[in-house]
Structures are given as C-alpha cells and as structure tokens.
Amino acid sequence: MQNIQSNIDKLKAEISAELKRLGRENEEINLVAVSKTHPVEAVDIALQHGIKHIGENRVQEAMRKVPMISQPLEGFHFIGRLQTNKINQLLSLKPFLIHSIDSVYLAERLHRALGRTNRTQDILIQVNTTGEVQKNGVDFENAEELIKKIADFSCLRVRGLMTMGLFDPDPEVSRKYFRKLKTIFDKVRADDTQGFDYLSMGMSHDWKVALEEGANMIRIGSAIFGARD
C-alpha cells in the first residue's frame, strides 16, 4: 500500500500529459479508482492523495467496505454485474453512478426499488461492443433502442454509456470498440437535453487509447492499487 501515493501521482501526470497532447482539459476527465479486492485502508490512502471517486465490482464487497471508508469522497460507483436480488443492498450505499445497466428487466427492477423510497438514480448503459459472450452489456446493435426504453423510467437518469475493451496486452486492439461506442454516445447526446454526458471506457491497460477515442471517465484499478489479491 506504500506505493499508492506514487502510483496516483504518476498516473495523474500521465493523464495530464496525454490530455495536453490531445488538446483536452483535465477537468473533462472523471477518474474512478477501482478498489476490487483491496482493503478499505488502501481506499482511504487513495482518497487522502487526490482520488475522489471509488468503484467496486461486487455488491457484497462494497457493503463491507464503503461504510468503513473514513476519508471524504465525492462518489461511490458500482461498475460490476448487478443481480436483481442485490438491488436494495446497493441502493443503501447511495451510489453516485451505476455503470452496468444492460436490460429493460434490470432497469425496471431498479426503477421499482427506487420508487418505493421516492428516489432517483444516475445510471450508465453498459454496451458489449466486443461481442464477447462472457461479458455483460447490451448488444451494440440494440443499444440505442434500450436507451430509449430506459429513458421512460422516471426514477432513472441515463447519464451515458460504458464499455470494456478486450483484455489484451496490446491496447490498440480495443480502439475500434471504443470508437464504436463513441458513435452512439455522440448520436444520443446530440438529441439529449437531460445530461447525457458520461462516456466510461478505458482501464489500467488501455486508458490512453480510450482518451484518444473520447472517453471522459476512466476506471483504473491495478495502476493505482497494484495487482489484485
């Protein structure tokens, strides 16, 4: 855990340099530190050294860790597969953003749970741009239709899109998938007046390519916290 501060400093310097090269501003980018399998002590260290948003992949782990965080944060993000029987548990943590909504069924169950307490929730639509069967996400071809359907749920605010690139040592292999998602993002955003403004793509191995293709939210785990346990 002693390397977390230096990892954050290095990452932020690299992000700033990359954005300068691309003619973009640091304020455009939302950095989510993904703390999957890492202890709450590591999360607190990250928050003490400039991280403002934390992401978790599993509801059970988030339930153990998020209430124990001792440092102030701007938002907790849920970025993993959401099982319907875990919705109420997740909502008890008051997530800033749920990245992984990929069906009308899941959206409807979330909408109903929120309605019981008269709450609204910001969400992203997860799109499976790579077409891999082991990944969650709506098919690329059906993404726009799903966005339109979920937009009708009054307790949900669709704030943007999320995807995962290929897990490959060469980050370039994910470029075409990030580019595909950007085309949908731009099309929907042009017709949206409700704050469709987050494009969540890019992780520790491919965030530079994601920024080049227009991401404004990147999800970084190992580059901050080190290898997962």
What is the pTM for the complete model shown? Answer: 0.95
How confident is the model over 170-192, as pLDDT tens digits? 999 999 999 999 999 999 999 87
Q: Tell the residue number behind the tokens 């609204």, with chain if given.
A: 120
Residue-level pLDDT at 67: 97
Give me the helices (H) in 51-129, please. 59-65, 87-92, 104-115
Q: Which residues of the chain have pLDDT under 70?
A: 1-2, 193, 229
Residue-level pLDDT at 192: 73
Judge contact between 100 and 136, C-beta under 8 A.
yes
Q: Which of 16, 91, 76 is nearest to 46 (CA)?
A: 76
Residue-level pLDDT at 179: 97
Residue-level pLDDT at 105: 98
Separation CA 200–CA 181 (nearest Å): 10
Separation CA 90–CA 132 (nearest Å): 26
- What domains appear along the chain, each with residue ranges and CATH number? 4-225 (3.20.20.10)
Residue-level pLDDT at 2: 63
Label each residue of 11-27 as H, E or C. HHHHHHHHHHHHCCCHH
Residue-level pLDDT at 15: 97
